Amino acid sequence: MADVTVGDDVLDLGEDGLLRCSWAGGTALYRQYHDDEWGHPVVADQRLFEKLCLEGFQAGLSWLTILRKREAFRTAFAGFDAGRVAQFGPEDIERLLTDPGIVRHRGKITSTVNNAARALDLAAECGTIAAYVWSYEPSVELRPVRVTREWVGAHPTSPESAAMSKDLKRRGWTFVGPTTVYAFMQAMGLVNDHQDACFARARVEAARAALTRPATTRLGR
């Protein structure tokens, strides 16, 4: 793995000869996540809820740290089934605080339980979590002509992530700041922030083009 310059951009050149986003070098786990998951559009409510929770846990940490613990998180939080997590009580929180497989942060654990209840409310109001989330997808006209490492680094938030963050907070969600929400949007395919010369960009763009988007709504706004 090595950084290479392509035009005015910097990417990671893997041992397999593929150009990837500059952040994707390092471990095989990170490369696999970059290649097969990051940016691919998701409309499954359980995965969307999971990612919002894990992005909250990432605050102050690296995504690689969370990725390495993801299976343990799934076990600890009932597969991120919002209905089950919403039923967690004080004894569950104390149990989770002793679980070495996850990030043992009381505020983030209690936030996940709270957000599970809020997710159920959101689904009840909007039909699905996906319908709500995808209503914040930016229009093509608002996206950059080229996505480079410099552009991504200079845009850790977006007007849409700020709006979604504000609305989620109004609904009682926690650990959903604009930066956290934008990272969620990048990962779940609401935007394609793979760098232009990254081999995965075209695959993600094709998946986004083929996606049947949920009927979107922003009730109560």
State the catalytic residues.
33, 55, 63
- Amino acid identity, residue 135? S
User: Residue 150 half-sphere exposure, CB side, CA atoms within 13 Å?
Assistant: 7
- CA dist 66 and 129 (Å) reads 23
Torsion angles phi and psi, residue 4, rounded to 5: -130, 150
- CA dist 164 and 168 (Å) reads 6
Q: Confirm if 216 and 135 have CB atoms less than 8 A apart.
A: yes
Angle, CA 202 vertex, CA 17 and CA 196 arms, to 5°? 75
Q: How many residues does the chain have?
A: 221
In the three-class reduction of DSSP (H, G, I as helix; E, B as strand; rest coil), residue 11 is classed as: strand
- Candidates 198, 196, 185, 218; CA nearest to 41 is 185
